[in-house]
Amino acid sequence: MTQHVRPPIRSEYDLVLAPFVEAPVERRLPLSTRVWQQGWLRKGLILVVLALAWEALARWQDNDLLLPGFGATLSALAEGLGSGELLERARISLTVLAEAYAGGVVLAFALTTLAVSTQFGRDLLSTLTAMFNPLPAIALLPLALLWFGLGSGSLIFVLVHAVLWPLALNTFAGFQGVPETLRMAGRNYGLTGLSYVWQILIPAALPAILSGLKIGWAFAWRTLIAAELVFGAASGQGGLGWYIYQNRNELYTDRVFAGLLLVIAIGLIVENVVFATFERLTVRRWGMVR
């Protein structure tokens, strides 16, 4: 008969290590490194270099009708802002853009919700995106003018097209990339339909959704300026694109560049303030992106 021998139990003890004092555990970074880590400073430096290159090229060209200097453009921009004209033009453009952007976001989420819920929805989304995503939004402007006339309705129709398809594609791709464990967790909690999409799919796919929102915003903003350059005024009023077009006809090139500079400034603010804040409060806080 085999006798089982129990192994001896080793006694446990704690080994207290002496504190390490031979060298500093944490080394403070040099001032230049800490300063260079500031993203706003690096981006600001890029803008300063571009502005200096612009001014140098304008002085070498020496023709304000073709290319006014950066200083002259800033002066025209300050004059337009001070008179309130540029602010009013920007308000008109941004109001139309906000309405169209909201409509495009709602339609995109409706399509993608249907796509992740049914096979018919997936077929519908893939077919529509294959048809309309390659179609430039500005190409629909003549049709929009025929249907809605000279007004904000035509612009909204064109801008919804610019926002809808890239956002729907990115959102659906994000939904497809949600891990199966999260999907199973949602089903175990009894989530279905809109609650399942809202509480499981959207938070997990938020990086892709945020990318789609950025792309949709950029497409809509440039499409709006281009559309306003074509017909621009609605009910006697026009936005930034119309302001640029009018001053080009009157050969006020500095005002043309001032309008373009304001378009760029609005784009920078939306990208680096609005979207950056939303990203910092969500996906970066949750550790979903680096």
Classify residue 275 as exposed, middle or buried by CB count within 10 Å of its CB (0-12, 13-18, 19+): middle
The residue ranking higher by pLDDT, 10 or 160, is 160
Flag whether the pTM goes above 0.85: no
- Predicted confidence band of residue 200 (pLDDT cuts 50, 70, 90): confident
Q: What average pLDDT does the structure give for the chain?
A: 85
Q: What tokens were used for 87?
A: 């602010």
Say what the pLDDT of residue 25 is. 67
Residue with tokens 């005002």: 255
State both tokens at 249. Answer: 């006809």
Give the C-alpha separation, 75 to 62, whole Å.
17
Token pair belonging to 220: 């809509």
pLDDT of residue 98: 92
pLDDT value of residue 49? 92
pLDDT tens profile 118-129: 889 889 999 999
pLDDT surpassing 80 at residue 288:
no
Q: For position 237, what pLDDT does the model report?
A: 64
User: Which whole number is the average pLDDT over 152-165?
Assistant: 90
What pLDDT does residue 169 have? Answer: 92
